Amino acid sequence: MKIPAELKYSSDHEWVKVEGNKATIGITDFAQDQLGDVVFVEVPALDTELNATEGLGTIESVKAVSDVYSPVSGKVVEVNEQLEDAPQLINEDAYGKGWICVVELSNTAELNDLLNAADYEKLLLEEA
């Protein structure tokens, strides 16, 4: 199971890649593995204002429908439109082509509340 060191993680199994004042958000390799084959992804609308821990969309798999929570607050400035026609990108490349949206951060201090790779790995071991 991949847990890239350069990313931040939420305890709800979302990842965040920070570049300047923007954060790309997706679900972790662990989360997509637990869901199974993803068949539909609901992404947030552009310009939506998100608050940390608030729902930003849903992912439907052959097993279940799961909410995706925003790990940070900010405005949605980009969404992964490829997921509409190819939701399986989340299974194939959770940390790459399977990203969900990009948020312009409104409170960078929230990044301090997220987990680093080692702490996220610890969380997975506790949940196992």
pLDDT recorded at residue 11: 97
pLDDT tens readout for residues 41-78: 999 999 999 999 999 999 999 999 999 999 999 999 99
Q: Determine the pLDDT at residue 32.
A: 97
For residue 86, pLDDT over 90 is answered with yes
Instruction: Answer whether 38's CB lies under 8 Å from 91's CB.
Output: yes
For 27-44, the pLDDT digits (tens) are: 999 999 999 999 999 999
For 68, phi then psi, to 5°, come to -110, 130
The full set of domains in the chain, from first to last, is 8-127 (2.40.50.100)
- Mean pLDDT computed over every residue of the chain: 97
Structure token digits, residue 68: 């995706």
Alpha helices, DSSP H only, in the chain?
Answer: 29-35, 82-85, 89-92, 117-127
Residues 6+ apart with CB under 8 A from 85: none
Q: What distance lies between CA 48 and its chain's CA centroid? A: 16
- For the cut 90, the answer to whether the pLDDT of residue 1 exceeds it is no
Percent of the chain beyond pLDDT 70?
100
Rounded CA-CA distance 20/112 in Å is: 15
Return the pLDDT at 128.
Answer: 83
Nearest alpha carbon to residue 62 among 82, 91, 83, 84 = 91
Q: Does the pTM of the predicted model rise above 0.75?
A: yes
- Distance CA(91)–CA(72), nearest Å, equals 23
State the Rg of the chain over Cα. Answer: 13
